[in-house]
Amino acid sequence: MPAASAAAPESRTAAPVSEAKLAANKANAQLSTGAKTPEGKATSSLNAVTTALTGRTVLLPTDDAAAYQQHVRGYEKELRPVGQRECDLVQSIADASWRLQRIPALELAIYAKGRLQFAAQFNDLDPALRASFIELETQLVYEKQLRNLHLQESRLHRRREKDLAEFRQAQSDRRERDTANLESASRLYAEAKRANKAFDPTALGFEFSIVDIETYRGGSTPVLEIAYRAFRRASESQSKLQTAA
């Protein structure tokens, strides 16, 4: 009898989404203490156009690690991943969104730098025109950085949509498997109850608990939610065993 995919062997030891990556990102962020001077901070902002939107490091030294963790948890809570592959996809989706949220601030930093850099360049112009000329000069001087920023924005949007589509397909396929397993377990459970016999789902190859099966029989909880609870329970149990070892 097939085991429920909600906690299949390959997913039993999967850690809650983002824990390992969060630790790695925090460690990478510690390698730099950040710029100290206003000029250095401005340069760091421009460098982020290429270094904070690509590569493996998601968190910058100035990022709030707790906010990032909450951000990832929000995606996990919404998407309810089960198994390593789904968790990896949710992590990727959350990271792409985190980077996308950084883009408006980076673009603003470029124009703020331009206003400082070119403030005295157009003093002989009508004040009503100075702001427009400063903005134009900023666009011309930092055209490469702005173009790269917009290219990275498009890339991140495509990546997020691709990962989300793959996640939805994987989740849809799993829903069918989980439904079949829960239906089979529910039937066997009902037969055992009628015969007044003990019923152990794990002995029959199921990873869903009796509580999961009864919840499914109640009909009010979606299969994806039942599977997610089973997966989280298995993950937390495995984490406790590893901690105690």
Average pLDDT, stretch 203-207? 88
Handedness of CA 160, 165, 168, 174 (dihedral sign): negative
Confidence (pTM):
0.70
Task: Note whether 35 and 44 are within 8 A (CB).
Answer: yes
| Model confidence band, residue 13 (pLDDT cutoffs 50, 70, 90) | very low
- Rounded to 10 degrees, the C-alpha dihedral 30/70/232/17 comes to -40
Cβ within 8 Å of residue 174, ≥6 positions away? 5, 6, 82, 83, 86, 224, 227
- Whether residue 39 is predicted with pLDDT greater than 60 in this model: the reply is no
Condensed to tens digits (0 to 9), the pLDDT of residues 157-178 reads 999 999 999 999 999 999 999 9
Closest CA to 234 of 59, 6, 23: 6
For the chain, domain boundaries: 5-244
In angstroms, what is the C-alpha Rg of the chain?
Answer: 26
Contacts of 214 by beta carbon, 8 Å cutoff, 6+ apart: 189
pLDDT at 2 over 50: no
**Around Cβ 216, how many Cβ atoms within 10 Å?**
23
pLDDT at residue 238 greater than cutoff 60: yes
Give the number of other Cβ atoms within 10 Å of residue 245's Cβ: 5
Q: How far apart are CA 173 and CA 76, in angstroms?
A: 19
* The pLDDT of residue 237: 84
Q: What are the percentages of helix, strand and coil residues in the chain, rounded to 5?
A: 75, 0, 25
114 vs 42: CA distance, rounded Å: 10
Residues 26-35: pLDDT tens digits?
Answer: 444 443 444 4
Residue type, 53: L
- Reported as a pLDDT band with limits 50, 70 and 90, residue 147 is very high
